[in-house]
Amino acid sequence: MKIVACLFTALILCQITQVKGKCEYCIKIVNEFDKYLTEHPGETDKAKEYVCVTLSHGNPILNEICRQLFKRAIAEIIKGIERKDGAEKICQTIHYCPKDSISPDVTTTQQPL
């Protein structure tokens, strides 16, 4: 049974690698989700279904990863979209992207000369 679990985990990791990592996949999911909700306000459940089916391209493993992301973090994703945080920041907040992947804010206060 442990072998099956290890193989399944390896397969999932390979599938995530094919979409250039879970961070990029998360960003795609959040962007597509935001786009769908902009075009169809209030249709959160339909948006989740549409995004997972569309981005998984029929791959059941990617579809499940997408569904788990929504199951785990839908509230944070929606809050981030409402705050206009951007997909990368949202994915950092829900721990799908590393914190250091965003460039530092260049609008910090300048020190006097």
Angle in degrees, CA 60, 63, 64, rounded to 5: 90
Query: Which one-letter amino acid corresponds to residue 50?
Result: Y
**pLDDT tens-digit profile of 57-82?**
999 999 999 999 999 999 999 999 99
Q: What Cα–Cα distance (Å) separates residue 6 from each residue in 2, 37, 103, 105?
A: 6, 37, 36, 41
Please, what are the domains in the chain? 2-99 (1.10.225)
Indicate whether this model's pTM tops 0.75: no
What is the model's pLDDT at position 45? 96
**pLDDT tens-digit profile of 17-55?**
543 588 999 999 999 999 999 999 999 999 999 999 999
Q: What Cα–Cα distance (Å) separates residue 1 from each residue in 7, 13, 65?
A: 10, 19, 22
Tell whether the model's pLDDT for residue 108 goes beyond 50: no
Which is more confident, 102 or 67? 67
